[in-house]
Amino acid sequence: MVEELLFFMEVLVGGLLAGTMYSLVALGFVLIFKASATFNFSQGAMVFFSVLAFVGFMQDFNIPFVLAFILAALLMVVVGLCTERFVLRPLMNASEDTVLMATIGLGYVLEGLAQAAWGVEVRRLDLGIGDFPVPWIADNLKLFISALDITAGLVAAIMIIGLFLLFKYTKIGLGLRAVADDAGAASSIGIPLKHIMLLVWSAAGVVALVAGCMWGARAGVQFALVDLALKALPVLIIGGFSSIPGAIIGGLIIGAVEKVLEVYIGPFFGGAIEGWAPYVLAIFFLLYRPEGLFGEKIIRRV
């Protein structure tokens, strides 16, 4: 009995921690959704682009780890800058759908650029953190939990705290929340939309880089990272598109649910339900709580 419970705990904790990896990807979507009310289809490409550049700097130019990371982060700020200047600004007064389509195009451009610059083969990313159970935890708690999962959890926690502080206590954070509520009113009182866009896209780029590092370390830096972003969709539906805590909790739920279901119910379906179980959960949320757990309810005075 005790062993069964331990096994369940292991599955659950493993799932939760793996979920933080989804949270990291979802975080990037939330940032952009908050500012431009658009689902950024290029987020997956940004993950791929940023981490491939990071690995490329290290492996092709022998740049040390930390410096390469900073360079890649700066590169994502430049990508944000270019996106604002060449995609968003010309579409400033266009409808949200138009911007949505533009992000799909942007995704292809980033994918192409990344592969043109760094090649198409799968690269290994070594963060110096192994994807194997931590011996200390395995010995003392009898739980087998991957060190990479724990790191991802910590990184996600740090990022959410950082972003929370940025939004709550800085001037530009206030500006961002104002734009998220009513972009027209924000510009009427002199909040420059382009600064906010620049901030959001750069922040989303850096978040993409961090998420890419975690996933790249686990699965290798490869084109499949682009599709990984799709996993963020159920996360966002459950957590709410406009909520940062929602992205985190949504990721945890998806991570835990898919692992638990896979282990306990999977065998009845012949396994591999991990792939679609999150989407089923997302459908239930769409039916009964479309704004997600933490999404901002649309407040209307009646």
Q: Which is nearer to other proteins, 180 or 225 (CB)?
A: 180
* 133 three-state secondary structure: strand
Residue 182 CB, shortest distance to other proteins, in Å, is 5
Question: How far, in whole angstroms, is CA 299 from its chain's centroid?
Answer: 27
| b/e 170-196 (16+ beta carbons within 10 angstroms → b) | eeebebbebbbeebeebeeeebebeeb
Q: Which is nearer to other proteins, 191 or 253 (CB)?
A: 191
Number of other CB atoms surrounding residue 55 within 10 Å: 22
Token couple for 120 = 């198409």
Token couple for 243 = 């909520």
Token couple for 30 = 């939330």
Helix axes 193-219, 65-82, angle to 10 degrees: 140
Residue 191 CB, shortest distance to other proteins, in Å, is 5
Q: Which is nearer to other proteins, 109 or 172 (CB)?
A: 172
Q: Which is nearer to other proteins, 193 or 253 (CB)?
A: 193
First vs last C-alpha separation in the chain? 55
Residue 34 CB, shortest distance to other proteins, in Å, is 10
Integer Cα distance of 302 and 117 in angstroms:
55
Residue 114 CB, shortest distance to other proteins, in Å, is 34
Residue 297 CB, shortest distance to other proteins, in Å, is 9
Q: Which is nearer to other proteins, 162 or 192 (CB)?
A: 192
Q: Which residues form the interface with other proteins (CB under 8 A)?
A: 92-93, 171, 174-175, 177-178, 180-182, 184-192, 296, 299, 301
